[in-house]
Amino acid sequence: MARDLAIDLGTANTLVYMKGRGIVLNEPSVIALNRQTGEVLATGHEAWHMIGRTPGYIVAVRPLRGGAITDFDVTERMIRLLLQRVGVSRFTRPKVVICVPSAITEVERRAVTDAARRAGAADAQLIEQPMAAAIGAQLPIDEPVGNMVIDIGGGTSETAVISLGGIVALEAVRVGSFDIDNAIQNYVRREHGIAIGERTAEEIKVAIGSAAQTPDEVEAEVSGRDLMMGLPKTVVLTPEEIRYAIDDVVSQIVQSVVRCLAKAPAELAQDFLTRGMYLVGGGGLLRGLAERIERETQVPVRMSQMPLEAVVLGAGHCIENYDALKRMFMGQRR
Amino acid sequence: MVYVLLGVVVICVVVFAALATSRRTPSSNDSVAEFQRHLNALSPEARRHTVENYPDKKSVEPLPIQENEELDDGA
């Protein structure tokens, strides 16, 4: 008998929770393929190391962009490999709960469930990422109080107000930490005339990126290819430059939080002031982001204790209590 | 004969109405109980066990990549 699974199929990382065992897999959502034969050559960490460093016949891709499946076939193969890795075979077909962005369309929803069923799942149910995040972050969502959660992922940023086990207000934008990386890449190309890869852009973001001024800021040396000469070149970037480069993306995220606050019922407003909002997701780790949101909304912002795992833990809780929490699944609410 | 038939119809209607009413009452109780079960499953105490499983990240060693085409039967 297969153990049921919860999968956080994120744009950046994929996490798998196995019923009764906890998180059993956590790796980048990347797959490397042979361009000519279509064979899978690597997945996860191994494929991530190949990004931007492959010979012509190999392509390392992220099959999800903006939280949506951009390549159905590749996604299905990735899910199949994930299920195999955690022991699913043709004889052991588990029930699977998959976390997806709340703004997902009906077509995208069907694409995810079809991919999971074709990959070996007996039944595939979907749950909104902010709802799963709120469960995993241990917010008191069973009480009649306003719980606000901001989930900033690789391709989407979602803010939800949750009370009595249901979503009261929701706001989502298809902007996430990959857009921050892209903004850094574009800035370095435009202002310094060098081309850098997406992994280097991510490293710059982690090293000196911030959404608001922070103490002990340092500069970083970055190497890339000179666009004029075609030769390797090194430049020095300052935290102010990076803040300027990513300001547009950060503003979009902050504005979506403001819109969600405006949508929430007035009765819950005082709860936000006393309880604050909770930040989850890898994008929430950007330095100064919590302070920036707090400054612009005048509502305290707290970081979840497990920002990267909260979503899959929430979905894992739903798989542990499948029958009692059926109404959490998309399309099951009555 | 007509009175007998009318009597049977009236009895049927009364029985049917009684059954319908008796069914409705437990079903509303069921929905209350189900919602309470839903909220109980979301309580911090109920969630503690799941969250405590969090560090169990490396319990499954990744297997070598080997695509299993047999699974692709469109189940």
pLDDT digits (tens, 9 = 90+) for B18-56: 776 655 555 667 888 888 888 888 888 888 888 776 654
pTM: 0.83
Domain count, chain A: 2
Same domain, A144 and A243: yes
Same domain, A17 and A90: yes
- pLDDT bin (cut points 50, 70, 90) of residue B75 is very low
Of A81, A93, A140, the CB nearest to B44: A140
Structural domain containing residue A280: 139-304
Best residue of A46, A313, A322 to probe chain B, by most B CBs closer than 10 Å: A313
Residue A214, in any domain of the structure: yes
| pLDDT for the residue numbered A175 | 94
Same domain, A145 and A124: no
Record: contact A40-B67, CB cut-off 8 A? yes
Contact in structure between A275 and A253 (CB atoms under 8 Å): no
Residue A198, in any domain of the structure: yes
Q: Which residue has the tokens 């000196």?
A: A208
Angle between helices A289-297 and A239-263 (to 10 degrees): 50
Record: contact A93-B75, CB cut-off 8 A? yes
- What pLDDT digit, counting tens, does each position of A232-255 carry? 999 999 999 999 999 999 999 999
| pLDDT for the residue numbered A203 | 93
Below-70 pLDDT ranges, chain A = 1-2, 67, 332-334
**Higher pLDDT, residue B62 or A322:** A322
Instruction: Please count the other Cβ atoms lying within 10 Å of the Cβ belonging to residue A57.
Output: 11
Of A40, A77, A165, the CB nearest to B42: A165
Distance CA A304, CA A295 (A): 19
Nearest CA in chain B to A166: B39
Residue A92, in any domain of the structure: yes
Of B40, B44, B57, the CB nearest to A138: B44
Residues 5-44 of B with CB under 8 A from A: 37-44
Same domain, A122 and A153: no
Q: Measured in whole angstroms, how far is the alpha carbon of residue A121 from the centre of its chain?
A: 23
Of B38, B65, B71, the CB nearest to A119: B71
Q: Supply the DSSP string of A86-116, one letter for each residue.
A: TT-BTTB--EEEEEE-TT--HHHHHHHHHHH
The verdict on B4 touching A (C-beta cutoff 8 Å) is: no
| pLDDT for the residue numbered A119 | 84
Q: Which three-class secondary structure string do you get for A21-39?
A: CEEEEEEECCEEEECCCCC
List the one residue out of A77, A191, A212 whose CA is nearest residue B66. Answer: A77
Residue A234, in any domain of the structure: yes
| pLDDT for the residue numbered A200 | 93
CA distance B22 to chain A (A): 22
Question: Which DSSP helix (H) or strand (E) runs through A136?
Answer: helix A129-136
Contact in structure between A152 and A331 (CB atoms under 8 Å): no
> Which residues of A are less than 8 Å from B65 in CB distance?
40-43, 81
In DSSP terms, A302 is beta-bridged to A278
Same domain, A278 and A258: yes
Same domain, A43 and A96: yes
Distance CA A143, CA A197 (A): 46
Residue A111, in any domain of the structure: yes
Residue A334, in any domain of the structure: no
Same domain, A110 and A207: no
Residue A223, in any domain of the structure: yes
CA angle, residues A136, A256, A186, in degrees to nearest 5: 100
Same domain, A155 and A297: yes
| pLDDT for the residue numbered B15 | 82
> Which residues of A are less than 8 Å from B68 in CB distance?
80, 84, 89-90
Distance CA A74, CA A130 (A): 26
Same domain, A29 and A86: yes
Of B44, B56, B67, the CB nearest to A23: B56
Residue A333, in any domain of the structure: no
> Which residues of B are less than 8 Å from A119 in CB distance?
71
Same domain, A250 and A109: no
For residue A24, give Cα distances in angstroms to A7, A67, A205, A281, B58.
Answer: 10, 22, 28, 18, 6
| pLDDT for the residue numbered B28 | 63
Distance CA A153, CA A135 (A): 17
Contact in structure between A31 and A76 (CB atoms under 8 Å): no
Nearest CA in chain B to A120: B71
| pLDDT for the residue numbered A72 | 78
Record: contact A25-B49, CB cut-off 8 A? no
Distance CA A282, CA A104 (A): 20
Res. B74: pLDDT tops 60:
no
Same domain, A236 and A186: yes
| pLDDT for the residue numbered B64 | 46
> Which residues of B are less than 8 Å from A48 in CB distance?
none
Nearby residues of A216 by Cβ (< 8 Å), 6 or more positions away:
none
The domain spanning residue A41 has which CATH number? 3.30.420.40
Contact in structure between A134 and A144 (CB atoms under 8 Å): no
Record: contact A320-B71, CB cut-off 8 A? no
Same domain, A17 and A108: yes
